[in-house]
């Protein structure tokens, strides 16, 4: 376990890009909140991209204006997930191999706190209402660790199902839902009291969880059963189990929450569920092994990373069809759209770099080298 390392590396090679002219007219949306569970959940800005490099135990900071790495911060072993707090003062990093949570002060990138025994492999972070506390899944101890962000103090360890990895926040910030594959349960947390308010039993093993924008429905993906279960979020009652494609993982809601998009890793497709009747209304073929997705602020397009084919599928939400396929780096995994809708950034775990996609031209405009095996990404 590596604790307290604060070394920095400023001599990384960067790529200077000629950026395409033109901007998406989204001036009123300078900051939005991310909804895809695979990347950093929290504030999504326009100035700096933060990258968690799992293989080199570092965080790369990329200035979006110049598209250069401007800072590299050494953190704990195996950083996998990074999220920016709603007040934009901190970045919270989960380090799977060292079981630590590192808190970086922004924009200085100084280490504000290191929290031991607070997470585990695939740990994720969400923020409660008011941005005072971070809630981190702790696979090592089958808990959700509650951390006061400003001090780095552990204030609670909430027991949940065995080895929890994913966590989803309700729109009002009052509750979080934590699926446990091994326990076949989903814990509903009351974030005001830091307790489990309800436990939702699952007939099949749960994986991902996502709540509809209106807070009415909770969707749980189950890779083993090739299905998605719809729960009433208010009553915690299961309403329907919907067959989808093979090996469904990530869930993303479209604009207004009228449709949910399910990434099916083994059938290379995206299932579209109409929330009004809880039925699959379209199945969209994409590239090989779809792994993550994000939506443009306009709501017109969804961008899906295809790890096996090294590209990004652009889906029109109006027609439920792929309108473009954009080549990126090797084994792309996570993706995040900037708050102003100008760029999408893709972490390429196989080529150790970040691809930037200009969302006006729908084309890659450059790649910048970062650390080894970039995983989590977040925009400040």
Interval 98-142: pLDDT, tens? 999 999 999 999 999 999 999 999 999 999 988 899 999 999 999
Interval 29-45: pLDDT, tens? 333 333 333 444 455 66
Nearest one of 55, 204, 35, 192 to 128, comparing CA atoms: 192
Over 50: is that where the pLDDT of 328 sits? Answer: yes
* Cα separation, 348 vs 374, whole angstroms: 6
With tokens 């926040």, the residue in question is 169
Q: What is the DSSP string of 190-226?
A: ETTTTEEEEEEE-SS----EEE-TTSSEEEEEETTTT
* Cα separation, 126 vs 50, whole angstroms: 16
pTM: 0.87
Interval 252-299: pLDDT, tens? 999 899 999 999 999 999 999 999 999 999 999 999 999 999 999 999
With tokens 């809630």, the residue in question is 135
- The larger pLDDT score, comparing residue 27 to residue 206, is at 206
* Cα separation, 294 vs 127, whole angstroms: 19
Mean pLDDT of the chain: 89
Alpha-carbon Rg of the chain, whole angstroms? 19
Over 90: is that where the pLDDT of 46 sits? Answer: no
Interval 241-256: pLDDT, tens? 999 999 999 999 998 9
Q: Is 236 left (phi over 0), alpha (psi -120 to 50) or beta?
A: left
């Amino acid at each position: 376990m590596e604790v307290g390392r604060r070394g920095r590396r400023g001599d990384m090679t960067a790529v200077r890009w000629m950026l395409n002219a033109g901007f998406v007219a989204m001036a009123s949306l300078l900051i939005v909140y991310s909804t895809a569970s695979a990347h950093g959940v929290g504030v999504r800005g326009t100035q700096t991209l933060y990258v968690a490099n799992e293989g080199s135990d570092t965080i790369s900071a990329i200035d979006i204006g110049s598209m250069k790495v401007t800072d590299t911060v050494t953190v704990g072993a195996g950083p996998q997930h990074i999220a920016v707090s709603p007040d934009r003062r901190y970045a919270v990093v989960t380090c799977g191999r060292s079981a630590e949570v590192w808190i970086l002060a922004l924009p200085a990138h100084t280490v504000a706190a290191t929290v031991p025994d607070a997470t585990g492999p695939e740990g994720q972070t969400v923020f409660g209402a008011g941005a005072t506390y971070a809630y981190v899944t702790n696979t090592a101890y089958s808990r959700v660790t509650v951390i006061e962000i400003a001090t780095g103090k552990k204030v609670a360890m909430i027991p949940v199902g065995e080895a929890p990895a994913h966590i989803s926040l309700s729109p009002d910030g009052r509750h979080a839902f934590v699926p446990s594959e091994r326990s076949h349960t989903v814990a509903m947390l009351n974030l005001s009291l830091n307790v489990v308010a309800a436990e939702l039993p699952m007939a099949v093993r749960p994986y991902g969880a996502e709540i509809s924008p209106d807070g009415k429905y909770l969707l749980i993906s189950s890779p083993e059963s090739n299905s998605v279960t719809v729960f009433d979020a208010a009553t915690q009652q299961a309403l329907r189990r919907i067959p989808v494609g093979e090996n469904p993982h990530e869930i993303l809601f479209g604009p207004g929450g009228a449709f949910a998009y399910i990434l099916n890793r083994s059938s290379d497709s995206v299932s579209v569920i109409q929330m009004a009747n809880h039925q699959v209304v379209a199945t969209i073929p994409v590239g090989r092994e779809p792994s993550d997705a994000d939506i443009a602020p306009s709501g017109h397009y969804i961008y899906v990373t295809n790890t096996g084919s090294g590209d990004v599928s652009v889906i029109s939400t109006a027609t439920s069809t792929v309108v473009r396929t954009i080549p990126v780096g090797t084994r792309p995994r996570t993706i995040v759209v900037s708050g102003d809708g100008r760029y999408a950034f893709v972490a390429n775990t196989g080529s150790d770099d970040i691809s930037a996609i200009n969302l006006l031209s729908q084309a890659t405009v450059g790649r910048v080298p970062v650390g080894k095996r970039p995983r989590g990404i977040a925009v400040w």
